[in-house]
Amino acid sequence: MDGKSLLRQYIVDPTEVPWKAGQTEGITFQCQVYLSGADGGPEAIRFRFDPCPRVYAHMHLTSQFQLLIGGAMDFPKSTMKLRPLAIHYADHKLPYGPFSTGEGHDMLVLHPRQGGLVSMADRAARRQINLVGRQLVGMDRESEWFEVLGMAGMRCKFLIPPGSGPQAVILDAPPNCTIAVPAANFGRYEVVVNGGASFDGKSVAVPGLRYVVGDEQPTPIRSGEKGATLILLSFDADAVQGGIGDDELSRAAAEAIERAI
Amino acid sequence: MANESGAEQSKNPFRVVMFADFICPYCYIGQERMEQLARDYDVRPVWRPHWLHPETPPEGAPFHQNVDRERARATAQWLKEMAPEKAARMRFPDKMQCSFFAFQAVEFAQDRGDALPFTSAVYDALWVEGKDIARIATLQEAAQKAGLDAEEMGRALRERRYMERTMNAVAAARKAGVVSTPTYILGRIAIKGWHYYEVFQTVMQRQGMLPRQQSGSEKG
């Protein structure tokens, strides 16, 4: 044993995942469970919230990326009026919200493991808030493109730049291009947001994805005939914190998400 | 220190510091946390200025019509969620107010013991009564409510007795790296921004601080 963690990967084509209706505290939505996390692996759910003026303040037990691909999500802070493509990142057990969702809302909620759902109305849960937790946001429209050196026609922009811990990078690749990606020690979602791409020979539609984690380098991504715009969302060490355990809060959080979806 | 007995706590109370600015609505609702801690624990509350808008002249400055109105609307919505009772009584000021005189008045109050009731009265003057806290008369009314000598405070402010000390306090907050309001320091642990009271209770507990009632009963 050399202590290396083997590569694990999950590939999801949204055309293969059924939609279903859900609700939490009267907030209604449609969702696709891309990855349930039931095997101890990642949890990825696509949500389309009906327009809602107040999605209650809550937290999850693991790190989380929310990738907004349609509609609007407005947090009270003036710097957090999210429009697609936008990313919202929160560390494990970091409360956020309330927020409102607008017409055409469409987002991916991405966890490295099952994250559960904890309403901040739960007073006991408030005692477990992560006081040093980070909340980061980034929007496509506020970032500049950079050429990718050595990759003709490829460009990228940082929504959450390197150095912040977790990262969010948009890659715009020309048609039929091979994109090498590094190992993802703490886990990385690679989401196709435009065009088409294939992972390990499997083509996925927009917004399909691959999740990779491990010390080994995953296979390169291949852009489709019309090129591909991808967003790469990398977790950092916070991804191994928290999670669903045997405690009361974990049980309640797991039940809450189960009830909702 | 962390595991003091109740008696030792009384002699050497645990310091809880709030870095804040009166003009910040989050600080207004955050003041409640200081009041709750002072009520429930044997602590010494200390209010320190973190000056958000030093560019505001004494007479105040107009808000940027659309941007600030939208921001106020969003903030009000958030406050309604987090502190419904306080939010119901709040009225947003029609201009950006200058906090510097109020900061000087806090120094005056601090010299006379517990400044907590005075800071609460200043918040109420701005956020509930809609008064201008850059006016000495407003600060004197707050002083009166807090049981301070309003006449003496008026003189101290007019004579600028606390100006230099206040400037030093503002500089000290910056030097300490305070960037968000409110920021609380509970013993050795910082809490940045508004938080639920349960968070404060947990932080106190983590440092061996028990609520008065509980520490009393544990002593028997």
Q: What tens digit of pLDDT does each residue of B21-61 get?
A: 999 999 999 999 999 999 999 999 999 999 999 999 999 99
How many degrees, rounded to 5, is the angle at CA A185 between CA A84 and CA A125?
65
Report, in angstroms and rounded to the nearest whole number, the Rg of chain B calculated over CA atoms: 18
Domain with CATH 2.60.120.10 in chain A: 8-139+242-260, 141-237
Backbone angles phi, psi at B172, to 5 degrees: -65, -40
Chain B residues touching residue A127 (CB < 8 angstroms): 198-199, 201-202
Residue A136: predicted pLDDT: 94
Residue B2: predicted pLDDT: 39
| Annotated domain spans of chain B | 2-219
Residue A4: predicted pLDDT: 72
CA distance A99 to chain B (A): 9
B157 pLDDT more than 70: yes
Residue B7: predicted pLDDT: 43
> Pairing between strand B14-20 and B43-49?
parallel
Q: What is the mean pLDDT of chain A?
A: 93
- Helical segments of B24-149, H only: 25-40, 65-82, 84-89, 100-111, 116-127, 136-145
Q: In this complex, is the C-beta atom of B61 within 8 Å of any C-beta atom belonging to chain A?
A: no
Compute the average pLDDT of residues A148-170: 92
Domain range A8-139+242-260, its CATH number among 3.20.20.70, 2.40.100.10, 3.40.50.20, 2.60.120.10: 2.60.120.10
Question: Which neighbouring-strand residues pair with A161?
Answer: none
**Window B:129-188, CB contacts with A under 8 Å:** none
Superfamily of domain B2-219: Glutaredoxin (3.40.30.10)
What is the token pair recorded at B210? 């028990």
Residue B3: predicted pLDDT: 42
B80-103: per-residue pLDDT in tens? 888 888 989 999 898 999 999 999
B64-83: per-residue pLDDT in tens? 765 667 777 778 878 888 88
A82-96: per-residue pLDDT in tens? 999 999 999 999 999
What's the distance, Cα to Cα, between the start and end of chain B in Å? Answer: 21
Residue B170: predicted pLDDT: 96
Confidence class for position A98, pLDDT limits 50, 70, 90: confident
Residue (of B133, B105, B148) closest to B22 by Cα position: B133
Residue of A nearest to B197 (CA): A126
pTM, full prediction? 0.85
Q: Tell me which CATH code domain A141-237 carries.
A: 2.60.120.10
